[in-house]
Amino acid sequence: MTGTPVLRIDGLAVRYPSRGFRKPPATVIEDVSFEVGEAETVALVGESGSGKTTIGKAVLGLTPVSAGRVLLGGRDITRLAGRARRLLSSDIQAIFQNPYGSLNPALPVGRTLAEPLLTTGSALTRSEVHERIADLLRRVGLPKDAAERYPAQFSGGQRQRIAIARAVARQPRIIICDEPTSALDVTTQAAALDLLAELQNTLGCAYLFITHDLAVVKEFAARTLVLRQGHIVEEGPSAEVCDRPRHEYTRRLVAAAPVPDPVLQRTRRQQRTQTRAAATG
């Protein structure tokens, strides 16, 4: 990796106070360090309770950090709060697991997509916002009139596409993807991953992709870090981690992962290659 990484985690620790008398704090994350480069996808994999979501929350400022640093483009954002944290929205965004709960049911989709475009510092006119919303909907494969409809009028896969559109609205440098496809069926999951890959090719954003599914990360992420009980036990290129795992814990995760359809995977690789060629040509 050359240059300043988009995201750098340095010696991160998260400990929660114990509720028991004289008991030590509960350690969720301990001494975790890694980097995410420009336009790179790094996967953070582990079972439920391994601490991977806690890392995402620490990056987003949603949980307090006990030790270590979170740097965004070389800037220490570990303890930013209030207005200073909100100003980071142009550089860092998130996509969460539940497409049913991540959108405000009382707002039409157009209002939801307009919110990140109208945050502090935006100089867009009303007309430019409408144009940007139409472009976002087109990018994620939804019709223009979707802006006037409400989340309840869309399927789970369509709602996740809307959530993705909201995350990329300000063209952030990195998006924290916390189990963004786990609530979707297999076909819809594949479509969402292809959409994320296409947007990365065209917009150049990086992803920290949090998941429990090694079968997904092998095709989607350049590098994979395996987390167990708050510690990174293995890391490396995704194909190497998935095909030749060194740690016993990783081997168990690989053995438990569903086997992907090789024909489907080959077709998707070809489609991504064609998309990248078109974007760079």
Burial state string for 19-35 with b = 16 or more CB within 10 A and e = fewer than 16? eeeeeeeebbbbebebb
DSSP-assigned beta bridge partners for residue 7 = 36, 72
Between CA 138 and CA 148 the distance in angstroms is: 14
**10-residue averages of pLDDT along the chain (281 residues):** 86 87 83 97 94 96 96 96 88 89 91 85 82 94 94 93 94 95 85 93 96 87 96 96 94 78 52 54 52
Domain residues of the chain, as ranges?
1-91+175-183+207-261, 100-171
Between CA 4 and CA 201 the distance in angstroms is: 20
Q: What local confidence, expressed as pLDDT, does residue 263 receive?
A: 45
Using CB atoms within 10 Å of the CB of residue 106, give its burial: 0 to 12 exposed, 13 to 18 middle, 19+ buried: exposed
Q: Which two tokens stand for residue 49?
A: 């309770």
pTM attached to this predicted model: 0.87
Q: Which two tokens stand for residue 169?
A: 């609205």
Between CA 143 and CA 279 the distance in angstroms is: 22
- Asked if residues 78 and 65 have their Cβ atoms less than 8 Å apart, the reply is yes
Fold for the domain defined by 1-91+175-183+207-261: Rossmann fold (3.40.50)
- Asked if residues 162 and 140 have their Cβ atoms less than 8 Å apart, the reply is yes
Between CA 99 and CA 91 the distance in angstroms is: 22
Torsion, Cα of 169, 173, 177, 181 (10° steps) = 60
